[in-house]
Structure 1
Amino acid sequence: MGVIRAEAGAVASDVRLSGEIQAEKSVGLAFRINGRVSERNVNVGDRISAGQVVARLDPTLERNELTAAQASLNAARGELDTARNTFTRQERLMAQGFTTRPRFDQALRARETAQAAVENAEARVELARDRLAFTELRAGVPGVVTARSIEPGEVVQPGQVVITMAREEGRDAVFQVPARLLEDHAGTYRVRVALADNPAVSAIGTVREVAIQADPATRAFPVKVSLTDPPEAMRLGATVTGVLEISTPSIIAIPASALTQQGATPAVWVVDPATSTVSLRPVDVLRFDPDKVIVAHGLEPGDIVVSAGVQALHPGQRVRQLPARSAARGGPA
């Protein structure tokens, strides 16, 4: 009776996927105020630097507000100068006894009121300057424009994203991975990424994020792979292929001839070394290969499994073992 001795191993399977290069981080640019767009200086695909103006609003209203605020400030400063002079005169007369306390207090209050009016006017000028500056939309970080949603003449609202840009410091390869490949969360994932039209351009990546919800259209899970030092040719939007190396620990590979059934459940005959009798044991099959079966659960390292003649056995039957050989360890498939 041919038997094998089960040994634990790992099975690595290469899964080929198709995906695209995306930015690791995207930034949405929006105006802080509402207004009518007068300029849009960038298009999709343009590279922009930090501080670059990407769009402008018509600044007429904000310039008028700034002019009015500056005029109010000048008037308030004139009133403050008059109030200060009046208070200085009343202070001198008070020291000489030539004025009354009510008139002195009135001059003091007038100076304080004029000072507050100047501070309020200065704040209005700063606010008007800020609003005028907000008519220019500037990029805070360098990157590449990936989307735009405005044209000159359109009216935009505060906070409305009008330009989307991809930051330059990181790139992901994004793949749609079937759920069955992600069921074993104990596995480890390494990805080799290459351009679809030029496989010689490649990079190594690590899985950065696995979506917790499947894409409604594909029923697959988006997996983001962070690329390590990607080549310049791997531009945003480029189509790439990825080889996902999934390593599953604690499995046992047995010959296909050793597999039988217990009802509708896969099973194998296991030999008791003390009594040389066999018993049927159900197993969980991870994968069927042409010449072997990958068992995920049901067998332990060291178990003696009948590998030939399984159709003629019955529970408790005594068998004579031929010299045992080890089960083939799981290798790359």
Structure 2
Amino acid sequence: MMATSQRFAMAVQSGAKRRYSLWSSLVMGALLLLVTGCAWQNRDQADARQSPGRGNREAGPIVVETAVARRGAIGEGLTYTGSTEPRQQVTLRSRSDGQLLSLAVDVGDSVQQGQRLGQLDAVLLQTAVRQEEAELAARQVEVSQARTLVADAQTQVEQARATLQQAQADADRLQSLADQGAIPQQQAELAQTQRRTAEQALRSAQEQVRTRQQAIAALERRVAAQQAIVNQAKQRLTHTVLVSPLTGVVLRRFVEPGDLIQPGQEVLQLGDLRTLKVRVQVSDRDLGQVRTGQSVQVQFDALPNQTFTGQVTRIAPTADPAGRLVPIEINLPNPNNKLGSGLLARVQFTRLAPTLVVIPEQALAVGADTDAPTVFVVTKTDAQLTVQPRPVQISQQVEGQVALTTGLNPGERFVIRSNRPLRPGQVVQMSLLSES
């Protein structure tokens, strides 16, 4: 009985201890919640006093990293590939027909303007020239004969004129005697008839002179025409000699001695390699970085350790409608003909003078709830730094850099990044990383 009473007392005591421990835990939890709530309330009130309307989850000043806007260029220099060709290139064609007797040059040989390069068979043309010259000589003889006849006719005119003068004098004298009754009137009339006959003879002789002079003019025109034919024959004869039209290098050879050549057939291709021409196709997006007269750097796989300087001489006014590529022509000096035609050229266009403001891409729309490109500009107001959003217009965007055409002026300070979103008129503090 006594043992049972002891066990009951011990159980009652243990239960009392467990109830006390649970009650103590509940009291401590309630006190902890009360203290934490007061702390959060004090923090919210402090935040509200520092920046009204920011909410209860932000604390402390907004720190921003800033930079100063400057003009500049973005990206690397533009690089395009093209091929070389002679500045002047001519295909020498035959202007006559015949067998090619000789060809003195081959591919790679240098030639001078006016140099004799080859010879065609000229026997037939030489025969034609002699025939035309003989015809010309015959017509010149005809002219000489006609001139002799004209001279004879002119002599007859002078004789007829002298006869007329004598007949006129006789008629006048006999008419005066007839009027005086010294001779019969019939004799005076006969003298007048002889005078009229002499006048008719003079007119006939003069007409014969004019006719023969007209014949001479016609013969002289025939001589001139024949002379033109002779000149043409001689000109065709000169076409049998192949002459270089420029100073340069033989690029291709199309025929060999012994071949039968037709008029217009290709014989040689010549090129002036003292100055090369490089053609490249530039994208219309990069056309704003190319100007006539702009210097370019050109490299060749054939000469990997050398760089040549060229100049943009022509920009095509139209682009390829399919690829939107614009043909560009570049002049490249070629001293000692070191470079040849058809080489792969890598052309790097040097940057033009910077005219646009360039900023980091991350500076666009810092904390702005808008789809339009925006930059926050920093201004100083009442000894405080505030920010205002400003819309900008983008020209180019390359490798994290943005070129602006409008919206930001050189020298203005703008926000690159901030630790919290920004709003118009927000008071900010510059970080140590900001540009001084």
Residue 122 to residue 11, structure 1, CA distance change in 2 (3 Å): same
Which has more strand, going by share of residues?
A: 1
Q: Which residue of 1 aligns with 2:300?
A: 195
1:48–1:145 CA contact under 8 A, matched in 2: yes
Residue 45 to residue 112, structure 1, CA distance change in 2 (3 Å): same
Structure 1 position 36, deviation (Å): 5.4
Q: Which residue of 1 aligns with 2:424?
A: 315
Q: Which moved more, 1:87-96 or 1:293-302?
A: 87-96
Q: Which residue of 1 aligns with 2:410?
A: 301
Residue 185 to residue 103, structure 1, CA distance change in 2 (3 Å): closer
Q: Which residue of 1 aligns with 2:153?
A: 90
Aligned: 1:155 with 2:287: no
Structure 1 position 306, deviation (Å): 1.3
Aligned: 1:273 with 2:336: no
1:65–1:128 CA contact under 8 A, matched in 2: yes
1:12–1:248 CA contact under 8 A, matched in 2: no
The amino acid across from 2:233 in the alignment is: A
| Distance (Å, rounded) in 1 between the aligned partners of 2:321 and 2:363 | 41
Aligned length: 322
- The secondary structure found in structure 1 opposite 2:354 is strand
The amino acid across from 2:394 in the alignment is: D
Q: 1:72 aligns with which of 118, 125, 135?
A: 135
Structure 1 position 247, deviation (Å): 2.7
Structure 1 position 227, deviation (Å): 2.2
- Unaligned segments of structure 1, at least 5 residues: 328-333
CA offsets 1:197-239 (integer angstroms, 9 cap, x no match): 3233332111112233445897543322222464531222333
Residue 45 to residue 204, structure 1, CA distance change in 2 (3 Å): same
Structure 1 position 73, deviation (Å): 0.7
1:22–1:171 CA contact under 8 A, matched in 2: yes
Which has more helix, going by share of residues?
A: 2
The amino acid across from 1:294 in the alignment is: V
Aligned: 1:239 with 2:239: no
Structure showing greater relative contact order (alpha-carbon pairs closer than 8 Å, 6 or more residues apart) = 1
Structure 1 position 121, deviation (Å): 2.0
CA offsets 1:241-261 (integer angstroms, 9 cap, x no match): 333222352233334542337
Report the TM-score when normalising by structure 1.
0.77
| Distance (Å, rounded) in 2 between the aligned partners of 1:206 and 1:116 | 57
1:29–1:161 CA contact under 8 A, matched in 2: yes
CA offsets 1:140-170 (integer angstroms, 9 cap, x no match): 221224456667335335xx77654323442
Structure showing greater radius of gyration is 2
- Unaligned segments of structure 2, at least 5 residues: 1-62, 164-200
2:96–2:239 CA contact under 8 A, matched in 1: no
Structure 1 position 187, deviation (Å): 10
Residue 303 to residue 105, structure 1, CA distance change in 2 (3 Å): closer
What pairs up with 1:88-167 in 2 under 5 angstroms?
Answer: 88-97=151-160, 101=205, 102-147=207-252, 152-153=259-260, 155-157=262-264, 163-167=268-272
What RMSD in Å do the two structures reach over aligned CA positions? 3.7
Residue 155 to residue 217, structure 1, CA distance change in 2 (3 Å): farther
- The secondary structure found in structure 1 opposite 2:337 is coil
Q: Which moved more, 1:175-184 or 1:52-61?
A: 52-61
The amino acid across from 2:357 in the alignment is: I
Q: Which residue of 2 aligns with 1:14?
A: 77
| Distance (Å, rounded) in 2 between the aligned partners of 1:77 and 1:189 | 65
| Distance (Å, rounded) in 1 between the aligned partners of 2:285 and 2:102 | 46
| Distance (Å, rounded) in 1 between the aligned partners of 2:111 and 2:355 | 50
Q: Which residue of 2 aligns with 1:47?
A: 110
| Distance (Å, rounded) in 2 between the aligned partners of 1:110 and 1:285 | 84
The amino acid across from 2:262 in the alignment is: V
| Distance (Å, rounded) in 2 between the aligned partners of 1:199 and 1:206 | 20
Q: Which residue of 2 aligns with 1:284?
A: 394
| Distance (Å, rounded) in 2 between the aligned partners of 1:320 and 1:35 | 91
Q: Which residue of 2 aligns with 1:173?
A: 278
Q: 1:5 aligns with which of 68, 71, 83?
A: 68
Residue 234 to residue 187, structure 1, CA distance change in 2 (3 Å): closer
- What is the identity percentage for the equivalent residue pairs of Structure 1 and Structure 2? 24
1:268–1:283 CA contact under 8 A, matched in 2: no
Q: Which moved more, 1:18-27 or 1:98-107?
A: 98-107
- The secondary structure found in structure 1 opposite 2:340 is coil
